[in-house]
Structure 1
Amino acid sequence: MNVITMQCKAELRRIFRNPYYVFWSLILPIIFYYIFTRIVNTNPDDKGLWQAHYLMSMTTFSVMGSSIMTLGIRIVQERVHGWSTYMRITPLPEGVYFFGKMFGQSVMHLFSIIIIFTAGYLINGVSLTASQWILSGLWILIGCAPFLALGTLVGTMKKVDTASGVSNAIYMVLAVLGAMWFPLDSFPKGLQLVSKWLPSYNFGNGAWELIQGNAPSWDNILILSGYLVFFVVLSTYIRKKQEVV
């Protein structure tokens, strides 16, 4: 238990010192939230609902980004610097090593959710019931699993610069096409159909449904589960191939 605790503490320290996390997961989503709810006049029919909707968009945007970029780039950095190889020859069990990573990532996500939810309340006075705040937070915390798997897939890349560029591109494309920045009904019909099959849209839509008093649809759950399995299988396959080489 002591080993697990120490490993988790070490992971947390490394994560919170990561500039990618501070900028992409905290600062940028809050800036976007302020701009699109206080400066840009989107003329929503229900301003309060729009402010709550966009708060969920920016929170899912934050957690998705930290899953893909912070985790993925950190894995590549550790391999490039020989840290992952070093960890294999220590007495530390591999399971403890990865448990520490997932624990640190989950705490980071929880911290992001709390900070951005607080920002929404302070900036716009977003008002939700206690169950809506809690269920939305839990959905975001659990629903990010496919993006964590995608992060491990990014982590199979050989160079940090490559991983950084690719993860940035994936992150931005998923955010824009997943309707996290702009409402889905502002897209052309064909693009709307594409968006509904993306993990980012289904991740965000679960939270959007919850703030309206509905449960996430089974489509959201099944599509996210499908992406999770796909990314895990692909990441595992690539890692095994790399170990053989």
Structure 2
Amino acid sequence: MFVFFTVALPVLMFLMFNQIFGQELSGEDGQSVGTFIMVRMAAYGGLGAALNAGAMIQIERANGWLRQLMVAGLQPRSFVVGKLAAAMVVVLPALFGVFLAGILLAGVDLSGPELLRSLLALWVGMVPLVLMGLGIGLALKPSAVGAVTTIGMMLLAVAGGLWFPYDMFPTWLQTVARFLPTYWLGELGTWGILGGDLPMRGVLTLAAWTLGLAIACAMLLRRAARRASRR
């Protein structure tokens, strides 16, 4: 099911949206609309894989492994870094899957540097989303993690402009979107293709989310360590 929701479903959605809208020219550097649909569907797949980091924590909490690590004195920073690194690897198939579908099945034409720059921007932009998944897994009861992750993924995808164009949003939702990591994730992926000036507001927004969520994860882990020491 994980592979379906993070790789197969985004690929299918990309192919469907590309068939309907993808052949139009966007007016941005002569690229087709399908190119930018590809970027956002890759971001959507990566979003699902990133937030799934909470499910990994859920399993470790349920089987007692997380408690054993805390009792053994594992430092919160080491735990967060380790889980972040593992989840960032898991994100890659979701990104590669949609990009491969775009190139091999939909005729998306990108140069090597454009392709690598867009993929790298999307991948690095996943860091705060992985931390968000870890935070959900640490903060909530295991029984609630799945539902909250699914709802959060849908809200972030829709409000962040991954499913629908940002220009279609009402003014208030456009304002909200510009504070969300998913909006800037799509924008950075697009920047990788179009080039030009790096969207620094997006970089700063993602950095702020990363810092805040990293601190939250560390605090939640310290709470888990205190609870483990009392048992």
Short-chain TM bin: 0.7 to 0.9
Q: 1:85 to 1:154 in 2, by over 3 A?
A: same
Aligned letter for 2:33?
A: W
Does 2:155 correspond to 1:136?
Answer: no
Equivalent position to 2:141, from 150, 159, 171: 159
Whole-angstrom distance in 2 between the partners of 1:112 and 1:158: 26
Unaligned runs of 5+ in 1: 1-18
* Residue of structure 2 equivalent to 1:55: 38
Cα deviation, residue 215, structure 1: 4.2
Normalised by the length of structure 2, the TM-score is 0.87
* Residue of structure 2 equivalent to 1:109: 91
Does 2:184 correspond to 1:202?
Answer: yes
Whole-angstrom distance in 2 between the partners of 1:175 and 1:191: 13
- TM superposition outliers: structure 1 runs of 4+ over 4 Å: 87-100
Q: 1:132 to 1:189 in 2, by over 3 A?
A: same
Does 2:6 correspond to 1:25?
Answer: yes
Whole-angstrom distance in 1 between the partners of 2:133 and 2:212: 13
* Residue of structure 2 equivalent to 1:121: 103
Aligned letter for 1:126?
A: V
Normalised by the length of structure 1, the TM-score is 0.82
Equivalent position to 1:235, from 211, 214, 217: 217
Which SS does the other structure have where 1:155 is aligned? helix
Equivalent position to 2:130, from 140, 148, 151: 148
* Residue of structure 2 equivalent to 1:178: 160
| Aligned alpha-carbon RMSD (Å) | 2.4
Whole-angstrom distance in 2 between the partners of 1:106 and 1:97: 14
Deviation string, structure 1 residues 88-133 (Cα, Å, up to 9, x no partner): 5679998776665334322222232222211111221101111010
Equivalent position to 2:18, from 25, 37, 59: 37
**Mapped contact 2:7–2:93 kept (Cα < 8 A):** no
**Mapped contact 1:56–1:208 kept (Cα < 8 A):** yes
1:58-97 matches, within 5 Å, as 58-68=41-51, 70-88=52-70
Q: 1:89 to 1:241 in 2, by over 3 A?
A: closer
Q: 1:80 to 1:96 in 2, by over 3 A?
A: same
**Greater CA drift, 193-202 or 83-92:** 83-92
Whole-angstrom distance in 2 between the partners of 1:56 and 1:182: 13
Whole-angstrom distance in 2 between the partners of 1:180 and 1:167: 17
Whole-angstrom distance in 1 between the partners of 2:79 and 2:216: 21
Which SS does the other structure have where 2:138 is aligned? coil
Whole-angstrom distance in 2 between the partners of 1:230 and 1:92: 21
Whole-angstrom distance in 2 between the partners of 1:135 and 1:41: 24
